[in-house]
Amino acid sequence: MLLWVGLGNPEPGMARQRHNIGFMVLDEIARRHGFSPWRQRFRGMVAEGSVGGVKVMGLKPMTYMNASGESVQAAAAFFKLPTSDITAFHDELDLVAGKVRVKRAGGAAGHNGLRSMDRMLGSPDYWRVRLGIGHPGDKDRVTGHVLGDFAKAEQPLLVSLLDAVSDAAPLLASGKPEEFMTRVALLTQDVR
């Protein structure tokens, strides 16, 4: 079984913020691949399903971004999962909006959700699906950008990205991150 974690914040008013793109992607994967209904568990919301024939548990920590690792660690410990079976879907300032990159391990790059996961899991050796939200250009505007809702003009790209990641998810589940990234790029190229 794989544990796919969408990073975000639980407040309803935060649902459309760029920082919550991890929740948005996981919701779309769960919908598209017929996961069970979301239910409370591990200080988060979980849904189970199959992606490309691989059992996947989706987890949306309800602990707020800065404490995401508490929820992830509880689920990983319960299922005795190695960190290599965990994938975090999160917003990435350093990628152009709509770009997706997958990598295993690495630093948190200032992302508090990843920092919390690193601390609670005791290792940064998990997969990350970095979902580009773009940089506002000035470091003083970063917080407002990350915690701001996607603009109306960004909606077509957002919808295309969510669809593409969901469509390509079986490649990710089967351990083909390069093919996954290529498929997402092909599916979103006309919207950028």
Summarised one tens digit per residue, pLDDT across range 115-136 is 999 999 998 999 999 999 999 9
Q: Contact at 8 Å (CB) between 128 and 106?
A: yes
pLDDT, residue 109, reads 82
Range of the domain at 115: 2-188
pLDDT tens digits along 142-185:
999 999 999 999 999 999 999 999 999 999 999 999 999 999 99
Identified catalytic residue from 19, 90, 111, 145: 19
Residue 192 pLDDT greater than 80, yes or no: no
The enclosing domain of 101 has a CATH number of 3.40.50.1470
CA nearest 134: which of 100, 159, 165, 169? Answer: 100
pTM, full prediction: 0.96
Q: Contact at 8 Å (CB) between 61 and 72?
A: yes
**Active site annotation includes 33:** no
In the chain, the number of structural domains is: 1
What are 80-86's contacts with CB under 8 Å, separation 24+?
81/1, 81/3, 83/121, 83/123, 83/125, 83/126, 84/125, 84/126, 84/127, 85/1, 85/2, 85/3, 86/2, 86/3, 86/4, 86/5, 86/121, 86/126, 86/127
pLDDT tens digits along 166-178:
999 999 999 999 9
